[in-house]
Amino acid sequence: MFNFLNQKIMNIKKKIQNFFFSLKMREKYIKHNKIFFPKKIINNQNIVLVELNKFCEIHILYSYLSNILAERLDSKIVGYNARYFFKFKNYLIFVIKRFLNLDYFSIYKSFNVKEFFYPIKKKNR
């Protein structure tokens, strides 16, 4: 009984440590992006599309590749969600996260993603 309780406490402690570690790493990454990719004002209509996802490893590639392309093509970087929102609740969550910089929106904004959009599925008539 005590061994089981002790194991549960250790699991909770590990989850809390991982949470704070991930927050620390996220802040370091955002700081890195702000140093290496300063904000630029682009008045051109060209865009570089970057898919929004939760694969942290690919965010590093996206940040460098999208900024190199944007600089060479004199473009702004735009993020898009590749999935449709079939429920209004999912759309609302997307909008709230984008507005409050929650989830991975803060990461994308740190490497100069100016706008975010999502596909709208047209109903067949």
* Residue 125 falls inside a structural domain: no
Residues 6+ apart with CB under 8 A from 70: 42, 48, 76, 77, 112
DSSP tag of 83 = S
Q: Which strands sit side by side in the sheet containing 76-80, from one edge to the other?
A: 47-51, 76-80, 113-117
Mean pLDDT in the chain? 85
Kindly tell me the number of DSSP H helices and DSSP E strands found in the chain: 4, 3
* Residue 19 falls inside a structural domain: yes
Q: Is 15 helix (H, G, I), strand (E, B) or coil?
A: helix
Q: What is the pLDDT of residues 2-33, one digit of tens each?
A: 677 778 888 888 989 988 888 898 899 889 88
Write down the pLDDT at residue 68.
92
Residue written as token pair 């699991």: 11
Q: What is the pLDDT of residues 77-116, one digit of tens each?
A: 999 988 877 788 888 888 898 888 888 888 898 888 988 8
* Domain span at 89: 2-117
Write down the pLDDT at residue 66.
92
* Residue 123 falls inside a structural domain: no
* Residue 40 falls inside a structural domain: yes
Q: How many domains does the chain have?
A: 1
